[in-house]
Chain A
Amino acid sequence: MNGRIFRVMLAAQARYVAPFLALGIFAAVAVPMLTVQGIDNVPHNFNDRAGQVLDQSTMAAPLFPILAVCLGCFIAVATWLPDIAGRWVYVLSLPVDRVRLAAHRLATGVVLILPVALALWLSSLFAISLAGLGAPIVVAPGSLALRFLLASILTFFVVSPVVLFSRRTWIVLVGLVLVAIIFSVRLPGLPSLIDLLFLHEMSPLHPLAGQWRLFDV
């Protein structure tokens, strides 16, 4: 029975997010291709080539965590939105323990992130093979795709409870964000909101920060 419940929940969720998931897969394919765009044309001189390849990799690097954050946020919203819109009446009248129901919902979200991460990995492999990168350039399509998967799942798990906040909590949260923005503008010495969210080591989104290079030297 549990397996069937999970399957119907996954199928329903997949139908709900299908157009946006397709967009996510498209982006996951496009970003690695963008990273290697024009690498064929760089000079074969060792220093110049390595430098330009690194520049190219660095330029595209922010796109990976941005895509992971967007994907995690979107899947989190899409996972809970139908129940929020229905004021939880239908879902809470189903004969399933609420903790188990939440676990099923979270599991469907994780499964839906998988094809995007898989697309990113395959596209990275393809892009690297097209670019013909040799030593001393080191490629990391597997670890980048794994990092992307974990980052998307992390965002999904962090954003899910935020989505479930009540309207009152949302108002308080938006108020706090506005206060933080206003104070950051007035007192330039304070860290920005982005820094707090991603760079502060206590932030759950801290693992998203850092370099996300498809290749390095």
Chain B
Amino acid sequence: MSEFAIRTDGLSWRPGKSFALDRVDLRVPVGAVYGFLGPNGSGKSSTIRAMLGLLGGVTGAISILDHQAPQDLPRILARTGYVPERPHLYPHFTVGQMLTYHSAFHAGWDPAWADAQRARFGLAPDREIKSLSKGETGKLMILLALAQRPELLILDEPTDGLDPVVRRDVLSALVEYVDERKATVFISSHLVHELERICDWVGLMDAGKLVAEMPMGRFKAGVRRLRIAGPAPSPDSAPFTLLARETPPGSGEEWLVRDWNDGMEQWFAAQGATLREVGALDLEEVFVEMLRWARYDRRGA
């Protein structure tokens, strides 16, 4: 088996004159909980829909669980639980009918687990889907995806618009499942803090491009805000990547850098500059700064 549960090479989609997805090269390791971050409209949902054969005119190579998409989609979907951004279940079904219907398509369906989880989520089997609240629909979606016991979960903004209590229920069910089954999870969201708690890999989308992909630890740890006293050195020979520089009121400069490691302070001393402070950023700050850097980089290019 490949080391990647999902691998795309040059994944592109051009519905109009411009690219909605532009040469996206994803690498999602087996067993990872991969957070797919990006602002609204950055192409996260389109990437997912392209991978699952829900868009026409997609180019590039897509491999999911060692099968090629879209050629082997039935095999892929038999092993993948998918929660779309907007629930598109049949509104005239009841919860019980929806579970029965969905179970018929999945050989690995666990009826006992599904029933226990349905009760835990407080979903009455005779409730019509059109009468469910947004939170209840979110719970039903995650229940349908998990009860088929998939090896891979692809979740597109599964908690978007849900209140904190429901969001906690949904994420708890997800974390329990991943702990139990060691499944790979590919979860897209623009709620950065939510992913910070559960993900060990991060991919960052912006304007249809994958601008960064790395382990969460590196994503968080490698980005620093540096305060430099006095005249700043030229960053050309720096062992890190300068993302942004600002000159706050007073003296000195503030740099935002990535690929930072302990010991790199010495580079400043060697350049005759004084590094006054090395500050860590939380994930949301890193996310915002990475996006800013990516956009600046594109404009520069």
Interface string of B106-135 (1 = CB under 8 A from A): 110000000000000000000000000000
Q: Is the CB of B54 within 8 A of A5?
A: no
**B86 CB contacts on chain A under 8 angstroms:** 89
Chain A CB within 8 A of B78 CB = yes
- Chain A: which residue is nearest B52 at the CB level? A93
* Measured CA separation A36–B125 after assembly (Å): 48
* Measured CA separation A16–B93 after assembly (Å): 9
**B92 CB contacts on chain A under 8 angstroms:** 15-16, 82
Chain A CB within 8 A of B270 CB = no
Q: Is the CB of A97 within 8 A of B89?
A: no
Out of B75, B78, B88, B107, which one reaches A89, CB within 8 Å?
Answer: B88
Out of B54, B74, B78, B104, which one reaches A7, CB within 8 Å?
Answer: B104
Q: Is the CB of B93 within 8 A of A86?
A: no
Interface residues of B in 36-75 (CB under 8 A from A): 52-54, 73-75
Interface string of A88-118 (1 = CB under 8 A from B): 1110111111000000000000000000000
* Measured CA separation A90–B73 after assembly (Å): 14
Chain B CB within 8 A of A44 CB = no
**B219 CB contacts on chain A under 8 angstroms:** none
Out of A4, A15, A93, which one reaches B104, CB within 8 Å?
Answer: A4
**B106 CB contacts on chain A under 8 angstroms:** 95
Chain A CB within 8 A of B84 CB = yes
Out of B77, B84, B90, which one reaches A95, CB within 8 Å?
Answer: B77
* Measured CA separation A18–B52 after assembly (Å): 33
Q: Is the CB of B77 within 8 A of A94?
A: yes
* Measured CA separation A7–B84 after assembly (Å): 26
Give the interface residue-count category, chain A.
20 to 34
Out of B74, B89, B104, B107, which one reaches A86, CB within 8 Å?
Answer: B89
CB distance from B110 to the nearest CB of A (A): 16
* Measured CA separation A8–B102 after assembly (Å): 9
Chain B CB within 8 A of A190 CB = no
CB distance from A108 to the nearest CB of B (A): 13
**A95 CB contacts on chain B under 8 angstroms:** 73-78, 105-106
**B78 CB contacts on chain A under 8 angstroms:** 95
* Measured CA separation A97–B90 after assembly (Å): 20
Q: Is the CB of B54 within 8 A of A93?
A: yes
Q: Is the CB of B89 within 8 A of A90?
A: yes
**A92 CB contacts on chain B under 8 angstroms:** 52-54
Interface string of A1-24 (1 = CB under 8 A from B): 100110111001001100000000
Chain B CB within 8 A of A87 CB = yes
Chain A CB within 8 A of B266 CB = no
CB distance from B188 to the nearest CB of A (A): 15
- Chain A: which residue is nearest B93 at the CB level? A12
Chain A CB within 8 A of B241 CB = no
Chain A CB within 8 A of B82 CB = yes
Chain A CB within 8 A of B101 CB = yes
**A82 CB contacts on chain B under 8 angstroms:** 90, 92
Q: Is the CB of B101 within 8 A of A12?
A: yes
CB distance from A17 to the nearest CB of B (A): 11
Question: What residues make up the interface of A, taking CB atoms closer than 8 Å to B?
Answer: 1, 4-5, 7-9, 12, 15-16, 82, 85-90, 92-97
- Beyond A89-B54, A92-B54, 11 additional contacts (C-beta under 8 Å) are A4-B104, A7-B104, A8-B104, A12-B97, A16-B92, A90-B84, A90-B89, A93-B52, A93-B77, A94-B77, A96-B74
List the 7 closest A-B pairs by CB distance, nearest first.
A86-B88, A95-B77, A95-B78, A89-B88, A8-B104, A90-B88, A4-B104
| 8 pairs, CB–CB < 8 Å, chain A vs chain B | A4-B104, A8-B100, A87-B88, A90-B88, A90-B89, A93-B52, A95-B75, A96-B105
